[in-house]
Amino acid sequence: MPQPVTPAAPRAGFRLMHVHAHPDDESSKGAASTAMYVAQGVDVHVATCTGGERGSILNPKMDRPGILENIHEIRRQEMERARDILGISQDWLGFVDSGWPEGDPKPPLPEGCFGLVDVEVGAEPLVRLIREFRPHVLTTYDENGGYPHPDHIMCHKISVEAFHAAGDPERYPDAGEPWQPLKLYYQHGHSRPKAVALHEAMLAHGLESPWAERLKDWEERPDWDARVTTKVPCSDYFGVRDQALLAHATQIDPDGWFFSIPREVQAETWPTEDFELVVSHVASTTPEDDLFAGITDPA
């Protein structure tokens, strides 16, 4: 899907890196703002920690012979299509998906998986990539991983480690010339206030809300919701986000609940993607509406 055309590239020279656990995370978390920044001339790079090898087939239409047996290669192909749609570059960090442990008690994680990696060892390829790409801004998940998947939690840990280590010449001395990103953000893509707003908007339009059952057991956390510092307006790019999501055909059901909310309702109700500014080495006053707020020289 073509991206909306902007008259110029006012952000040429700015660089943004997102660190994600699995292929599809770059499209389900922050993809509209990613597409917007790309259209403005920002160089956006995604680091994908694992290949999604142990992920489930969540689209019934793709649950057929030959898919699960070749899931690793199929998910690499899906990632290629998604990154072309978003206009980004991307690297695999090369770790193995931990899977989602189920049971009570939950079974141990499989040997050699990303969720069990030593944090300093896991951060090394990310430090190397940061020093090579030299991002001004780095985003990742919060300390709970956005949700408590072991790969998401480890993604958080190595991202924070790499953010602080990449600029220190005494850390990882064989991983390239030091580079200190200027800002670190956590993504807050799935908040209860957003779900409530979309739920109420659907009802106001006389439509069935996919959030009705989910909200019953979703505890209110005003302290958590208050952590959002930065709301980036990007609703013009929700269509690009949706096309990138659909590129991950084994994981995204085009008839699923997410696509039951009309894009117009989403844009009218919650036209931003939301982040938490965690560390800033530049002066930037919150609340913000831009991940690059305070960064004036993209050298």
In a domain, 90, yes or no: yes
In a domain, 10, yes or no: no
**For residue 254, what are the domain limits?**
15-191+223-280
CB neighbours of 8 closer than 8 A, spacing ≥ 6? Answer: 41
In a domain, 71, yes or no: yes
In a domain, 96, yes or no: yes
What is the separation, in whole angstroms, between the first and last Cα of the chain? 31
- pLDDT string in tens for the chain (299-residue length): 445 544 568 999 999 999 999 999 999 999 999 999 999 999 999 999 999 988 778 888 888 888 888 888 999 999 999 999 999 999 999 999 999 888 888 899 999 999 999 999 999 999 999 999 999 999 999 999 998 999 999 999 999 999 999 999 999 999 999 999 999 999 999 899 999 999 999 999 999 999 999 999 999 999 999 999 999 999 999 999 999 999 999 999 999 888 999 999 999 999 999 999 999 999 999 999 999 999 998 87
249, 243 contact by CB (below 8 A): no
In a domain, 287, yes or no: no
pLDDT at 8: 64
Angle between helices 71-86 and 31-39 (to 10 degrees): 50
Annotated binding site for Zn(2+): 22, 25, 152
Handedness of CA 192, 85, 231, 25 (dihedral sign): positive
In a domain, 3, yes or no: no
272 burial via Cβ count (<10 Å: 0-12, 13-18, 19+)? middle
In a domain, 233, yes or no: yes
In a domain, 288, yes or no: no
Annotated binding site: 22, 25, 152
**What is the domain count for the chain?**
1
Which CATH number fits the domain that encloses residue 144? 3.40.50.10320
Q: 262 is written with which tokens? A: 């009309």
For residues 83 and 254, give the distance between their C-alpha atoms in angstroms, rounded to a whole number. Answer: 19
